[in-house]
């Protein structure tokens, strides 16, 4: 009979000794994402000697430190470029990145764009809490219109950045978004993303009661979780309503955040193409062609 | 594919033993000979020929070349590749070097071997993109925030572009530190004869990999297998499960950001691992120093007109000499102290408004006169211009 897994057993197996307690506040969603990732890793039976976790700067970027595996905690926004180098040096490694909305969509946007475009075989887990939590709640590029931040004290007037739509447009092989409030769909997406050859991006909508919630009437974690239920809609439901719904129904959902799997394709990635290039050159060289 | 250095393949790709090539290209040759298997670059004049050369040659020796999205990405990918087990390098010029500064410090803090070739051009800002300068010499030492120790070589010839790139890899691997090859637009875009060293004459140093029991391994402390302040390298994927962070960390690699002794211990180790070896690292060329009363202290391209001025003066019986710094950082201060005690005057020609003249003056300690001979604007000093400094009292 298969052994019954519990969060406690997974923690014992995957957490790094000597790093606890975490830096996370009460109600923070980062630990939830870490737990979902452990479930996915466990179900995939990943070899933790051959899995590398990378991150940039911010609360979510502290996650690799808590995992008993190789980890590279890099500079702000650059983790995807670092990971590209790791993968180039050793394509046998599975590389998983933890990043936040500020780290990934703000300062690191350029690396995200080009890694997705090149379809680099890495998995990016972007934990979107609508804020720069570690530095105390400044305005993030994903923050909803009208939301309050320490650097947007009169309400955000910038349009939020939809990272899933961006990654999809760039041809990333796997793109999904889920709130942390339900475990099964995101764990399935994490498994699919990690297994997928090419670039995978899984965005989590995750609460930051301390830096974001308090300023936006969501300091109570129950309210914060309910906000996700009230303000998200499955991609399939969204599309159906937009096609067949009444004007009133359309109006009701048009500003909701879509959740689900945005893209699931099989385009060859950079390193697959690069290996072909190297082989082509070797064949040519052995025939004495290329000088 | 995981790279394995294949000397026969590399030599097949490089071609003839004696060639007439660009300085930039000689950096490519040096990288390939040293076993570079990852290059991340971004186009910038006058360093683009390094990137183009790598794009042509690296796939042919089964290494990985990537044109990254910017210089921030280039140096980041290089550091990542190094942790993945590759010998890795990038090449850039002033503006790109400025962009790399944050991760340059990250490489020092995380003890990551890597090589940065800087084909310097004039600045500040965009400056004169096609014209050479030596304006980044202090940036290589002080450009990133915080305390660290730089290692930087300055080639004066195309041959040295190749030799010093090999040497840069050796030093990077030995000390687990970023190493800069501080060439300039003059040498980078100069064509000269180079001789590719035979395999038997080539010294290739590789980082010492972690081999001890995984439970006993401590990643950020003195080596547990040798007498050295440089720890053995736990390449990602070899089962050591190392956490690498740019935060101040303890010996285990865990963040230790709130206590003074933790930071001091770490930063003192990663700086003294280099400065303790200053005598071994010091690499200077001495010309006529036995009898010289006035000497040029030079590095890089400016050594060439200085040497011409020196020869012209000696032909007229003047006692002139030259000390050329092949390795500029860590600064060979003992050589300067010794020299200043013997001579009346030191002249420091530089293609900037005076950078290396400052440590020279500092370490001359008032024993002799120290004169800056600056020239900027993308033109080298003429020998006649430097000759005038020899005639001044």
**Domain chopping of chain A, boundaries:** 7-266
- Contact list in B for residue A99 (CB cut-off 8 A) is none
- Contact list in A for residue B76 (CB cut-off 8 A) is 74-75, 78, 81-82, 84-85, 111
On whether residue B259 sits in a domain, the answer given is no
What does the block give as tokens for A9? 């057993």
CATH of the domain at B168: 3.40.50.970
Query: Cβ contact (<8 Å) for A81 and B238?
Result: no
What is chain A's mean pLDDT, rounded? 96
A282 Cα to chain B: minimum distance (Å): 7
Query: Cβ contact (<8 Å) for B60 and A114?
Result: no
Compare CB distances from A81 to B13, B72, B246 and report the shortest one's residue: B72
By the 8 A CB rule, do A102 and A212 touch? no
- Contact list in B for residue A18 (CB cut-off 8 A) is 252, 254
On whether residue B104 sits in a domain, the answer given is yes
Using the predicted structure, report yes or no on whether residue A228 has a pLDDT greater than 80.
Answer: yes
A27 compared with A3, residue with greater pLDDT: A27
pLDDT digits (tens, 9 = 90+) for A143-173: 999 999 999 999 999 999 999 999 999 999 9
Question: Tell me, what's the pLDDT at B332?
Answer: 98
**Exposure of B120 in the CB half-sphere (CA atoms within 13 A):** 30
List A residues 110-149 in contact with B (Cβ-Cβ < 8 A).
Answer: 110-111, 113-114
**Exposure of A221 in the CB half-sphere (CA atoms within 13 A):** 11
**In terms of domains, do B28 and B173 share one?**
yes
* Boundary (domain end) residue, out of B173, B201, B229: B201
SS (H, E, C) chain A: CCCCCCHHHHHHHHECCCCCCCCCCCCCCHHHHHHHHHHHHHHHCCCCCCEEEEECCCCHHHHHHHECCEEEECCCCCHHHHHHHHHHHCCCCEEEEEEEHHHHHHHCHHHHHHHHHHCCCCEEEEEECCEECCCCCEECCCCCCCCCECCECCCCCCCCCCHHHHHHHCCCCEEEEEECCCCHHHHHHHHHHHHCCCCEEEEEECCCHHHHHHHHCCCCHHHHHHHHHHHEEEHHHHHHHHHHCCHHHHHHHCCCEEEEEEEECCCCCHHHHHHHHHHHHHHHHHCCCCC
- What tens-digit pLDDT sequence spans chain B (393 residues)? 689 999 999 999 999 999 999 999 999 999 999 999 999 999 999 999 999 999 999 999 999 999 999 999 999 999 999 999 999 999 999 999 999 999 999 999 999 999 999 999 999 999 999 999 999 999 999 999 999 999 999 999 999 999 999 999 999 999 999 999 999 999 999 999 999 999 999 999 999 999 999 999 999 999 999 999 999 999 999 999 999 999 999 999 999 999 999 999 999 999 999 999 999 999 999 999 999 999 999 999 999 999 999 999 999 999 999 999 999 999 999 999 999 999 999 999 999 999 999 999 999 999 999 999 999 999 999 999 999 999 987
On whether residue B217 sits in a domain, the answer given is no
List A residues 247-286 in contact with B (Cβ-Cβ < 8 A).
Answer: 270, 274-275, 277-278, 281-282, 285
Range of the domain at B386: 285-391
Using the predicted structure, report yes or no on whether residue A288 has a pLDDT greater than 90.
Answer: no
| Integer Cα distance of B288 and A256 in angstroms | 79
* Boundary (domain end) residue, out of B172, B201, B230: B201
- Contact list in A for residue B37 (CB cut-off 8 A) is 89
| B243 → chain A, closest CA residue | A71
| B58 → chain A, closest CA residue | A278
Question: Tell me, what's the pLDDT at B2?
Answer: 85
- Contact list in A for residue B209 (CB cut-off 8 A) is none
- Contact list in B for residue A107 (CB cut-off 8 A) is none
CATH, domain range A7-266: 3.40.50.970
Compare CB distances from B70 to A54, A92, A110 and report the shortest one's residue: A110
On whether residue B226 sits in a domain, the answer given is no
Query: Cβ contact (<8 Å) for B237 and A19?
Result: no
**In terms of domains, do B56 and B178 share one?**
yes
Compare CB distances from B69 to A54, A111, A270 and report the shortest one's residue: A111
**Phi–psi pair at B15, nearest 5 degrees:** 90, -145
* Boundary (domain end) residue, out of B201, B222, B243: B201
Using the predicted structure, report yes or no on whether residue A80 has a pLDDT greater than 90.
Answer: yes
How many domains, chain B? 2
Its pTM surpasses 0.95:
yes
Q: Cα–Cα distances in Å, from A132 out to A101, A107, A135, B78, B377?
A: 8, 11, 6, 28, 44
| A276 → chain B, closest CA residue | B59
Cα B98 off chain centre by = 15
Chain B within 8 Å of A291 (Cβ-Cβ)? Answer: yes
What ipTM was reported for this prediction? Answer: 0.97
- Contact list in B for residue A110 (CB cut-off 8 A) is 69-70, 72-73
| A63 → chain B, closest CA residue | B243
Query: Cβ contact (<8 Å) for B236 and A81?
Result: no
Q: How many CB pairs under 8 A join A and B?
A: 159
- Contact list in A for residue B210 (CB cut-off 8 A) is none
CATH of the domain at B317: 3.40.50.920
| H or E segment to which residue B39 belongs | strand B38-41
On whether residue B79 sits in a domain, the answer given is yes
List A residues 50-69 in contact with B (Cβ-Cβ < 8 A).
Answer: 50, 52, 54, 64-65, 68-69
Query: Cβ contact (<8 Å) for B241 and A82?
Result: no
Using the predicted structure, report yes or no on whether residue A289 has a pLDDT greater than 80.
Answer: no
On whether residue B137 sits in a domain, the answer given is yes
């Amino acid at each position: 009979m298969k052994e019954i897994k519990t969060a406690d057993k997974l923690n014992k197996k995957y957490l790094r000794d000597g790093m606890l307690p975490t830096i996370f506040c009460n109600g923070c969603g980062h630990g939830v994402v870490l737990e979902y990732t452990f479930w996915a890793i466990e179900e995939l039976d990943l070899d933790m000697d051959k899995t590398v976790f990378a991150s940039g700067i911010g609360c979510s970027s502290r996650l690799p430190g808590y995992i008993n595996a190789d980890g590279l905690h890099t500079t702000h926004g650059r983790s995807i470029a670092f990971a590209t180098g790791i993968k180039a040096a050793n394509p046998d490694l599975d590389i998983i990145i933890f990043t936040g909305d500020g780290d990934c969509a703000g300062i690191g946007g350029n690396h995200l764009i080009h890694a997705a475009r090149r379809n680099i075989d890495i998995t990016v887990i972007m934990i979107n809490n609508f804020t720069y939590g570690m530095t105390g709640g400044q305005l993030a590029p994903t923050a909803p219109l009208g939301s309050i931040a320490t650097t947007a004290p009169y309400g955000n007037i910038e349009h939020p950045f939809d990272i899933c739509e961006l990654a999809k447009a760039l041809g990333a092989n796997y793109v999904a978004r889920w709130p942390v409030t339900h475990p099964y769909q995101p764990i399935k997406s994490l498994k699919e993303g990690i297994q997928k050859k090419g670039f995978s991006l899984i965005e989590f909508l995750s609460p930051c009661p301390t830096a974001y919630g308090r300023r936006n009437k969501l300091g109570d974690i129950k309210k914060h979780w309910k906000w996700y239920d009230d303000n998200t809609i499955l991609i399939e439901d969204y599309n159906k309503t937009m096609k067949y719904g009444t004007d009133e129904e359309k109006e009701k959902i048009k500003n909701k955040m879509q959740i689900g799997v945005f893209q699931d394709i099989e385009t060859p990635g950079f390193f697959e193409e690069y290996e072909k290039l190297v082989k082509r050159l070797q064949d040519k060289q052995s025939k004495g062609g290329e000088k | 594919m995981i790279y394995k250095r294949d000397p026969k393949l590399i030599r097949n790709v490089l071609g003839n033993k004696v060639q007439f090539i660009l300085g930039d290209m000689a950096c490519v040759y040096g990288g390939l000979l040293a076993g570079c298997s990852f290059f991340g670059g971004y186009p910038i004049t006058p360093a683009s020929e390094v990137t183009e050369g790598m794009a042509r040659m690296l796939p042919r020796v089964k290494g990985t070349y990537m044109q990254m999205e910017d210089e921030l990405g280039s140096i980041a990918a290089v550091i990542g590749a190094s942790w993945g087990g590759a010998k890795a390098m990038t090449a850039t010029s002033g503006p790109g070097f400025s962009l790399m500064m944050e991760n340059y410090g990250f490489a020092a803090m995380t003890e990551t071997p890597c090589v940065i070739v800087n084909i310097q051009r004039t600045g500040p800002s965009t400056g004169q993109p096609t014209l050479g300068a030596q304006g980044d010499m202090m940036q290589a030492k002080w450009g990133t925030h915080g305390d660290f120790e730089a290692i930087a070589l300055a080639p004066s010839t195309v041959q040295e572009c190749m030799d010093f790139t090999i040497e840069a890899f050796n030093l990077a691997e030995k000390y687990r530190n970023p190493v800069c090859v501080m060439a300039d637009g003059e040498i980078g875009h100069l064509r000269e004869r180079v001789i590719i060293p035979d395999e038997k004459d080539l010294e290739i140093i590789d980082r010492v990999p972690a081999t001890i029991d995984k439970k006993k391994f401590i990643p950020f402390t003195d080596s547990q297998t040798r007498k050295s302040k440089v720890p053995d390298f736990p390449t990602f994927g070899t089962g050591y499960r190392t956490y690498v962070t740019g935060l101040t960390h303890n010996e285990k690699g865990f963040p230790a950001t709130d206590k003074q002794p933790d930071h001091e211990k770490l930063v003192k180790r990663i700086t003294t691992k280099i400065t303790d070896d200053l005598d071994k690292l010091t690499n200077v060329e001495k010309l006529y120093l036995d009898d010289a009363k006035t000497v040029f202290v030079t590095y890089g391209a400016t050594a060439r007109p200085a040497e011409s001025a020196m020869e012209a003066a000696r032909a007229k019986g003047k006692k002139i000499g030259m000390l050329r710094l092949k390795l500029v950082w860590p600064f060979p201060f003992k050589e300067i102290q010794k020299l200043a005690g013997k001579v009346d005057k030191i002249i420091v020609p530089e293609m900037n408004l005076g950078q290396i003249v400052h440590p020279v003056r500092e370490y001359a300690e008032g024993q002799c006169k120290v004169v800056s001979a600056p020239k900027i604007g993308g033109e080298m000093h003429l020998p006649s211009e430097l000759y005038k400094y020899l005639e001044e009292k």
